[in-house]
Structure 1
């Protein structure tokens, strides 16, 4: 019987035309390109959104530490790869977070804009507030003394009252409490379209400023030009990048507490799955918040449950006693929440300001 031979479109090697898949590269021999095939291949290739995801989801949510343990034991194809699961779930989480935070970003920008406008009124309005001159102040103080409203006032005490009235009625320089430069002058330079060098000089930037200081002054100028708009959005945009740093730091802390329980890659697998659980939990909360308002005590209860999830996950993955696992979980959480996250938050705030 004669065998019909065809050529694989992918690897260009010969194969039996009756084969459904190429024995050399594995591609389907009759894979007609349609819209469904196009998007399915995209999702499956980049996120492995297939049966493995659903096989991994239940153990991830309800069997803490088991998924990471089975992956370390060699069951690599049965479940979704930890890095792929983390990537896929984090994309969903930040998509929901962007929708959820949209209103807060808008309101924050509006508040900043109103704040800048109110400063402008106080600074540029011709008569924003009636300021009493020194002659009027003197007359008021003398009348109080002559009319007997204030009796027994010595000349020295009268002079002190005069100075107090002068100080209390002088216009306050609101800008000086916020920025250490003449904001009025910089606003004028911005209005006339002056070169950036002149505006930075008016802000007090020295000529020999280094890269970081020069960057800071430029961002401060941008902050004033845009009335602060976009700063909160820049902060939110920096969070995904910071989490890619926070995750290996979490794995490093686990390595310090369980240095005999495998290589750093083992702890990284555990961290990928744990962060995937966190993102899944927070995604559910955000999705529910978009539909109805969740009471605060339920949010705190969910947040507290993540600690016990971590405790059970560490107990199952590292195979240690309950007391030792609880102690190490508590110390790990304390170091991460009290020390690592605040430092990371500070760096994110500084980074979002310097690069927004």
Structure 2
């Protein structure tokens, strides 16, 4: 009897059997001879997944974005041909286009990242940043003008000191409320100096009110009751309770609600943009959960269309990819039009805003092949229910984000 162990009983790791033909490959899992990218016996991919990190990243980018030509073949019809990609996917013409899920993931990641960039949340949005910068420049120019004439420096000293204080509050303070109140007060002060006359009664009362609020904000006095209106309660006593909870549980629930309310109020005073940042951080996950819900809505509305749920999910993936990509382009053109003052871009933006709902209607019409009247009714129902879902999702994102404060 031979002592030589058979390959099946050998405890040493098996080594791939090399083929006599060096051009042929052997599967590392079952050692069968492989002629393609996948093993015909066990289905394992021949190419090893253990590679250098950057090689994996480049392969991932190539899979998602397909730099050869799949990207252009996908993005152009996605924007210009309603329902085309979905119909091609249903017909089995898939290899030349980016798959729906990959397309959605890539577009949504870019969309939410750019959304935070465009709104510049966490500090100030682009609109406020531009307004504050203009006010800052106006204050600096006015201080310089008043300080240029040596004979008038002493006369204007008090005015210069007031403008310098406003400038410091506008540029140095890390409190959103202080900056916003300072900007309003600075604009009225500069208006008074430019007109070289006293303010009218309305502006004067506004200045006095702004001064009082600004002093409170700068000194740290809680002014949220005056400047914010946020409360959580469902009873006349101002408490939060649920009918199915016990008295002790409702007491804890109300305490938690009051703590949450206090955090949100304080953040609204300090920097409300942070709440938007936190909500946007949660939005991608919630939107991904919303996709199957939207597909279920389509399944119910088109119950007798003989389409599978996954087909409705494909419609949801393509329509959301289009929506995100269109909004992204609109945001880019809006920023670009502000930079170059090219008014034609604004007309393009208006066209895109009109095209967005029209595209979704045409997509619904071409995919489900129903009459215009039926499609209009179902489109209005879909849009209305979806807007409610978006509002509900936004509320969840706000609460979820604020809970992390």
TM over 0.5: yes
Is the CA contact 1:15–1:22 (under 8 Å) kept in the aligned structure 2?
A: no
**How far 1:281 sits from its partner (Å)?**
1.1
**How far 1:260 sits from its partner (Å)?**
1.4
Aligned to 1:132: none
The CA distance in 2 between the partners of 1:179 and 1:34, in whole Å, is 53
The CA distance in 2 between the partners of 1:240 and 1:122, in whole Å, is 38
1:71 aligns to what SS in structure 2?
A: helix
The CA distance in 2 between the partners of 1:36 and 1:53, in whole Å, is 21
The CA distance in 2 between the partners of 1:40 and 1:353, in whole Å, is 36
Higher relative contact order (CA 8 A, sep 6+): 1
Is the CA contact 2:224–2:266 (under 8 Å) kept in the aligned structure 1?
A: no
The CA distance in 2 between the partners of 1:242 and 1:71, in whole Å, is 26
2:392 aligned to which of 319, 343, 349: 343
2:260 aligned to which of 219, 225, 245: 219
The CA distance in 2 between the partners of 1:340 and 1:208, in whole Å, is 29
The CA distance in 2 between the partners of 1:43 and 1:124, in whole Å, is 49
Aligned to 2:204: none
| CA pair 6-63 structure 1, distance change in 2 beyond 3 A | closer
Aligned to 2:280: 236
**How far 1:224 sits from its partner (Å)?**
6.2
The CA distance in 1 between the partners of 2:300 and 2:251, in whole Å, is 38
The CA distance in 1 between the partners of 2:310 and 2:108, in whole Å, is 20
| CA pair 77-123 structure 1, distance change in 2 beyond 3 A | closer
Aligned to 2:356: 306
| CA pair 323-207 structure 1, distance change in 2 beyond 3 A | closer
Unaligned runs of 5+ in 2: 1-19, 129-173, 183-211, 230-238, 241-246
2:74 aligned to which of 56, 79, 92: 56
| CA pair 211-68 structure 1, distance change in 2 beyond 3 A | farther
The CA distance in 1 between the partners of 2:109 and 2:218, in whole Å, is 47
1:292 aligns to what SS in structure 2?
A: helix
**How far 1:35 sits from its partner (Å)?**
7.8
**How far 1:33 sits from its partner (Å)?**
5.9
1:111 aligned to which of 154, 160, 176: 176
Is the CA contact 1:96–1:287 (under 8 Å) kept in the aligned structure 2?
A: no
RMSD value, Cα: 4.2
| CA pair 106-212 structure 1, distance change in 2 beyond 3 A | farther
Is the CA contact 2:228–2:265 (under 8 Å) kept in the aligned structure 1?
A: no
TM-score by length of 1: 0.63
Aligned length in residues = 282
The CA distance in 1 between the partners of 2:116 and 2:301, in whole Å, is 35
Is 2:381 the counterpart of 1:331?
Answer: yes
**How far 1:280 sits from its partner (Å)?**
1.3
1:80 aligns to what SS in structure 2?
A: coil
Is the CA contact 2:27–2:39 (under 8 Å) kept in the aligned structure 1?
A: no
2:124 aligns to what SS in structure 1?
A: helix
Spell out the pairing of 1:1-356 with structure 2 (5 A cutoff).
3-4=21-22, 11=29, 13=31, 25-28=44-47, 37-45=55-63, 47=64, 49-50=66-67, 51-102=69-120, 105-106=123-124, 110-112=175-177, 114=179, 121-122=215-216, 177=226, 212-223=253-264, 227-229=269-271, 230-261=274-305, 262-293=307-338, 298-337=348-387, 339-356=388-405
The CA distance in 2 between the partners of 1:322 and 1:278, in whole Å, is 22
Is the CA contact 1:215–1:354 (under 8 Å) kept in the aligned structure 2?
A: no
The CA distance in 2 between the partners of 1:211 and 1:350, in whole Å, is 18
1:75 aligns to what SS in structure 2?
A: coil
Q: Find the structure with the greater CA-based Rg.
A: 1
Is the CA contact 1:274–1:310 (under 8 Å) kept in the aligned structure 2?
A: yes
The CA distance in 2 between the partners of 1:7 and 1:242, in whole Å, is 44
**How far 1:64 sits from its partner (Å)?**
0.8
| CA pair 268-8 structure 1, distance change in 2 beyond 3 A | same
Unaligned runs of 5+ in 1: 129-172, 181-203
